Chain A
Amino acid sequence: MLAYAGGSAAAFERLYERHRGGTYRYLLRHTGNAATAEELHQEVWLKVVRARDTWSAQARFATWLYTIARNALVDHWRASRGARFVSLDDEGVESAVEIALLNDRDEAGLLSTTMRVESGQRLIAALEAIPPAQRDAFLLHVEAGLALREIAAMSGMSVETVKSRLRYAYGRLRTALEDLQ
């Protein structure tokens, strides 16, 4: 990012190539809607472009990038018509259908994902069914590659809380795969 701020367009292309998939999937798994994910993905990266001149290396680029993505997600949910605002830190919502309704999900898409039989598709379906807070911790861990400490710092939680959420998410995903063993 410093190289990009120094005038290297190629540096931005390298950054984008490295993180484009992760940010898109992070947004897609949270929204469950490809069009919304694309829109948010573009918004996030345009913010990165605009922040080129003011960016300072106070944290890892990935941490900064996913903080922007997380904020964009929260703003999207806040602005969604008819949807009750759900914080990413809200751990009380557990029903997949309820989450889909609250988070502007494509219900038909959700139902189709539950019919998947392969383990990968089951995992995706299971992740969609868990509360946003656990899902967020899991996605930041596997898609962004952030450490527990970094996830805790960007979400304003303790490391123990993040660890607890991850444990819960992994447990649900294991359960989803159990009958395949």
Chain B
Amino acid sequence: MKTWRPGEDDEFDITIDGEWRKASREEPPPHVDAAILAAARTRRSRFATWQPLAAAAAVAGLAFLLVQLLPRERDVEQPILMEPAPQPSTPVKQPGAIANATIQGTTEPAPISPGVRENEARKRDQSLPDSALALPQQPTEAGEPRKDASPGSRQLSKESRADAELAAGAPAPAAAAERAAARAESSSLAAPTAQMPPAQWVTLIETLYASGDRAAAAAQLRTFRNEHADADRYLPEAIREWASTVE
């Protein structure tokens, strides 16, 4: 043990500290410890009673947020769903077009307005010679190369364009009209116009009229009238009223 001198100027005496720690070892009695720890836990358990309430409030808040978000999603989808698909007055069967559209996986296509459709028909009419009247012929088989002159290939490209538009999601009636018009043009160019019997003219005009492509139907009607003086006589009753408006 270290020998100390009275009045020694060292306020930190390690030996005294050590002796003090050996001597001073009292602890609070267990019942005091228990009371203090119980008080601390009681406060915690009181806090814990709020935890389920807080969790429930959080869940309710999340549910409210979800409910608030759902109508917004509907609002985004509504314009697409509400858009009425143009229905042809006479159903035109286009299994290939439907299959293409299905394969492409497109959603509702944007409808083509009648004005645009008429403009396209007008352009097509202008590109055709007036004498281009002939019997419709079977289209060239797929994959077979065309060796003939450009009018035929031009018409084929029109058909392909119509098919492409169908595949790209153009509305079925409009695409069908395009397709019918393109085929009619193609066949009329491929065959001599004099060979087109009136019954086929009528069928073509009826098809165009039914598909809604009034401009193309009118163009074909004019051509029909040019070729046949009594063309109106062959027309069915259903389109005669319309035909009377075509100059």
| Tally of A interface residues using CB under 8 Å | 40
User: Which residues from A are CB-within-8-Å of B3?
Assistant: 181
Q: State which of B21, B27, B33, B36 has its C-beta within 8 Å of the C-beta of A49.
A: B36
Q: What residue in chain B is nearest A15 (Cβ atoms)?
A: B40
The interface residues of chain A, by DSSP majority, are classed as helix
Min Cβ gap B16→A in Å is 5
Say yes or no: is B35 at the interface (Cβ < 8 Å to chain A). Answer: yes
> What class of interface size applies to chain B in its complex with A?
35 or more
Whether the Cβ atoms of A178 and B6 lie closer than 8 Å is: yes
Q: State which of B11, B19, B35, B47 has its C-beta within 8 Å of the C-beta of A123.
A: B19
Whether the Cβ atoms of B40 and A123 lie closer than 8 Å is: no
Say yes or no: is A70 at the interface (Cβ < 8 Å to chain B). Answer: no
Min Cβ gap A120→B in Å is 2
Whether the Cβ atoms of B24 and A29 lie closer than 8 Å is: yes
Min Cβ gap A101→B in Å is 23
Whether the Cβ atoms of B27 and A20 lie closer than 8 Å is: yes
**Binary per-residue interface labels of chain B (16-50) against chain A in the complex, 1 for a CB within 8 Å, 0 otherwise:** 11011111111111001101110111011001000
Q: State which of B12, B22, B23, B28 has its C-beta within 8 Å of the C-beta of A20.
A: B28
Also in contact, A9 and B13, with CB within 8 A (given A24-B26, A174-B4, A181-B1)? no
Say yes or no: is A78 at the interface (Cβ < 8 Å to chain B). Answer: no
User: Which residues from A are CB-within-8-Å of B16?
Assistant: 123, 170, 173-174, 177
Min Cβ gap B218→A in Å is 83
User: Which residues from B are CB-within-8-Å of A118?
Assistant: 23
Q: State which of A38, A52, A180 has its C-beta within 8 Å of the C-beta of B43.
A: A52
Say yes or no: is A109 at the interface (Cβ < 8 Å to chain B). Answer: no
User: Which residues from B are CB-within-8-Å of A152?
Assistant: none
Whether the Cβ atoms of A46 and B17 lie closer than 8 Å is: no
Say yes or no: is A76 at the interface (Cβ < 8 Å to chain B). Answer: no
Q: State which of B5, B26, B43 has its C-beta within 8 Å of the C-beta of A21.
A: B26
Say yes or no: is A143 at the interface (Cβ < 8 Å to chain B). Answer: yes
Also in contact, A120 and B24, with CB within 8 A (given A170-B16, A174-B8, A181-B1)? yes
Q: What residue in chain A is nearest B17 (Cβ atoms)?
A: A142
Whether the Cβ atoms of B40 and A12 lie closer than 8 Å is: yes
Instruction: Report the separation of the CA atoms of residues A118 and B32 in the bound assembly, to the nearest whole angstrom.
Output: 29
**Binary per-residue interface labels of chain A (13-46) against chain B in the complex, 1 for a CB within 8 Å, 0 otherwise:** 1001000110011001100001000100110011
**Binary per-residue interface labels of chain A (157-181) against chain B in the complex, 1 for a CB within 8 Å, 0 otherwise:** 0000001001100110111011011
User: Which residues from B are CB-within-8-Å of A62?
Assistant: none
Say yes or no: is B148 at the interface (Cβ < 8 Å to chain A). Answer: no
Min Cβ gap B9→A in Å is 7
Whether the Cβ atoms of B40 and A49 lie closer than 8 Å is: yes
Instruction: Report the separation of the CA atoms of residues A7 and B6 in the bound assembly, to the nearest whole angstrom.
Output: 52
Min Cβ gap A181→B in Å is 5
Residues of A within 8 A of B (CB): 4, 7, 9, 12-13, 16, 20-21, 24-25, 28-29, 34, 38, 41-42, 45-46, 49, 52, 118-121, 123-124, 142-143, 163, 166-167, 170-171, 173-175, 177-178, 180-181
27 cross-chain CB contacts under 8 A: A7-B47, A16-B36, A16-B37, A20-B27, A21-B26, A21-B27, A29-B24, A41-B32, A119-B23, A120-B19, A120-B20, A120-B22, A120-B23, A120-B24, A123-B24, A124-B23, A124-B24, A142-B17, A142-B21, A143-B24, A170-B10, A171-B6, A171-B8, A174-B16, A175-B6, A177-B16, A178-B6
Given contacts A21-B28, A45-B39, A49-B39, 16 further A-B contacts (CB under 8 A): A9-B40, A12-B44, A24-B28, A49-B43, A119-B1, A119-B23, A120-B23, A123-B20, A142-B17, A143-B24, A166-B11, A167-B9, A173-B13, A177-B19, A178-B4, A180-B1
